[in-house]
Amino acid sequence: MPELPEVETIVKKLHSVLNTKLVSAIRVNREKSFQGDISQIVGQPILKVSRRAKLIRFHFPNNMNILAHLKMTGQFIFVDGNKKLGGGHPSQDWIGSLPSKHTRVEIDLLGADVENDLGENILQGSKNQQKQSHLFFNDIRVFGWLRVMTDDQVETEYQKYGPDINTPEASEEYFKSKLQNTSRKIKQVIMDNKIISGVGNIYACDGLNLAKIHPVRSANSLSAKEAETLLKSLKKVINLGIKLGGATISDYRDVDGSAGKYQDEVLVYGREGQKCKNCAGFIEKIKVGGRGTFFCPNCQL
């Protein structure tokens, strides 16, 4: 499942190529994947692509947006001639031709790349305005979605999420107050998007290891000092994940620069039986809230 660093990475890439391009057509191949009125988007230029939690937002000038969630297996791939970029769930579609049988939505675009082709754009003017490219939304399991929403509807959706872990709004004061209020297991609390957004399973496991806190401790058993250390550790592993373009654990990791590198730096996630990087202990795997959880029983107390 794409986590916050992977989503952040796709959003930056998509913004760099989609910014100012005009949506000339949208084809929905699977109704479940797209909700809303296509006519409110067709003919509009994309002003910006941004992220909040794991939501991807395409901004349009008429106060309309497409909000998207990749869920388990979603991916966005932009194709312009031989150029192909994007990300999300790694699959054969990263390297195969598109559309594929997993392509749920196709968005046709017009216009040159502002950042890459600026010189050419100025010289050739109108010719480049007609340059075609395509954005494909592929999703094997069809849990992901695209929704046409007004600015107000997007804001309402955003209210469902706690502050993003990598922002100042996820402050020590806020974090400590949330932890004090619950006896739920700390790992489940930090993965609860209503409390803090963007801490997925990989980064929750690694953040707890870095902070030397056992994943099944009650949240309200953490001291103020432990809570501060945990928050810092979570921000640290998430920021490293963003810097490395996320984690790509698959056979397609080296394709088209779409893959992240965090899996090479991972502390405990997926390292059952291997040595802890904090101490001389060995990583164990347990289930917490139904999720595979990796930790070191020697240093995480």
Which residues are catalytic, by number? 2-3, 54, 291
Q: Residue 289 Cβ, how far from Zn ion at the closest point, in Å?
A: 22
DSSP characters over 124-168 = HTHHHHT-EEEEEEEESSS--EEEEEEHHHHHHHHTTSPPBTTST
Helices (H), the chain: 4-18, 118-124, 126-129, 151-158, 172-180, 186-190, 201-211, 224-243
Q: Which residues bind Zn ion (CB under 5 A)?
A: 276, 278-279, 281, 296, 298-299
Q: Residue 210 Cβ, how far from Zn ion at the closest point, in Å?
A: 10
User: At a CB cut-off of 8 Å and minimum separation 6, what does 171 contact?
Assistant: none
Which token pair is 61? 């000038």
List the one residue out of 288, 287, 237 whose CA is nearest residue 263. Answer: 237
Q: Residue 299 Cβ, how far from Zn ion at the closest point, in Å?
A: 3
240, 165 Cβ separation under 8 angstroms = no
189 vs 208, beta carbon nearer Zn ion:
208
User: At a CB cut-off of 8 Å and minimum separation 6, what does 116 contact?
Assistant: 16, 17
Identity of the amino acid at 19: N
128 vs 298, beta carbon nearer Zn ion:
298
179 vs 276, beta carbon nearer Zn ion:
276
Identity of the amino acid at 61: P
Q: Residue 236 Cβ, how far from Zn ion at the closest point, in Å?
A: 17
79 vs 211, beta carbon nearer Zn ion:
211
